[in-house]
Structure 1
Amino acid sequence: MRYSASHKLETREKLLESSALSAKKSGFSTVGVDGLMKAIGLSGGAFYSHFSSKDELFATIVERELRQSLARLGAEQNLDKLERCLKVYLSMSHVEQPESGCALPALGAEIARSDLMIRQQAEQWICRLQQSWAGVLHSDSLAWAILSQCIGALVVARMLASPDIQQQVLKSSYDEIGRQISSSKA
């Protein structure tokens, strides 16, 4: 049975969405092609009509997720919007629901172990986000520091077992970032 072009695009979109959620929640390398396809109700063989390899799927997920992060965190920022974004980013809901949040804390280690093309692709999007924040903060180095601190705080909070300590990590990071931003305005 032959499917329409729109059906193929819809299936690809379902596969991307499902695979991105799975990757951010459990790691990309933990699920095989059959498992990724089963999650959307198809057989593993259908995968190859959408992607030539699992690595190609991962590259597409990284590009898509980082583009979405840039749209949420970087587009048309001003200082008030940036501070609101940071409050949401450094929240317990972001810690507890990695599948619905930023890909960087969830997939950063896997991106770091990926081939050069994927790392370069991630670098392009991260640099665009950093440049957006640098424009708001009027400092390249402060933008890098805050971006790194946010991602690191999420990674550390997710590593911890105690919600009280997780909240302490998030609050400490948010407060310190607030001090950094305030001192840059002076």
Structure 2
Amino acid sequence: MRYSANHKMETREKLLVSSAMSAKKSGFSTVGVDGLMKAIGLSGGAFYSHFSSKDELFKVIIERELAHSLDRLSGDGVMDSTKLQRCLKQYLSMSHVEQPEAGCALPVLGAEIARSDLEVREAAQAWICRLHESWAQILGSGSLAWAILSQCVGALVVARMLATPEVQREVLKSSHDEISRRIAERPFD
């Protein structure tokens, strides 16, 4: 049976969404091609009509996830201190800690990106640098933008490593307070 081009695009989209959620929840390397395809109700052999390799799928997932992060964290580029604080509060939240599959890919997939081939790392770098440029423009400082991006990602990683919600909240609140203090020191246009 031959499927339409539209069916193939829908299947590819299902695979991307399902694989991204799985990767952010359990790691990308933990599930094989057969498991990724089984999650959307197809056999492993069908995978190769959508991607040439699992590495290619990972690269596309990283590009999509970081594009979503860029949209969420910089929006239309119009940022003021209120919008920035709201963004930070959402990022450094317990719901983000507890639901990695619904949030930013960097805290959960950063180590896997670092171990990936050059193509994946270059794709990740391109999107992270775009996010950095956006924040540097908003904050008026490239250095502060890198520091805030790094602290946000690191705070999520540390909070997720901890066993008790009380200590997790303390990590998030401390990071939010320090970032807010630094931002308050910077004049907005």
Give the TM-score normalised by the residue count of structure 2. Answer: 0.96
1:123 and 2:125 aligned:
yes
Aligned to 1:19: 19
Identity over aligned pairs, percent? 75
Aligned to 1:165: 167
CA contact (8 A) 1:70 1:128 kept: yes
Tell me which amino acid in the other structure corresponds to 1:105. Answer: P
- Aligned-pair distance for 1:142? 0.4
Q: Distance in 1 between matches of 2:25 and 2:10?
A: 23
Q: Distance in 1 between matches of 2:125 and 2:58?
A: 15
SS of 1:135's partner is helix
How large is the Cα RMSD of the aligned pairs? 1.0
How do residues 1-186 of structure 1 correspond to structure 2 at under 5 angstroms? 1-75=1-75, 76-79=77-80, 80-185=82-187
Q: Distance in 2 between matches of 1:178 and 1:82?
A: 9
CA contact (8 A) 1:130 1:147 kept: yes
SS of 2:185's partner is helix
Can you give the 5+ residue segments of structure 1 that lack an aligned partner in the other structure?
none
Tell me which amino acid in the other structure corresponds to 2:79. Answer: N
Give the TM-score normalised by the residue count of structure 1. Answer: 0.98
- Aligned-pair distance for 1:83? 1.4
Q: Distance in 2 between matches of 1:136 and 1:63?
A: 23
CA contact (8 A) 1:105 1:152 kept: yes
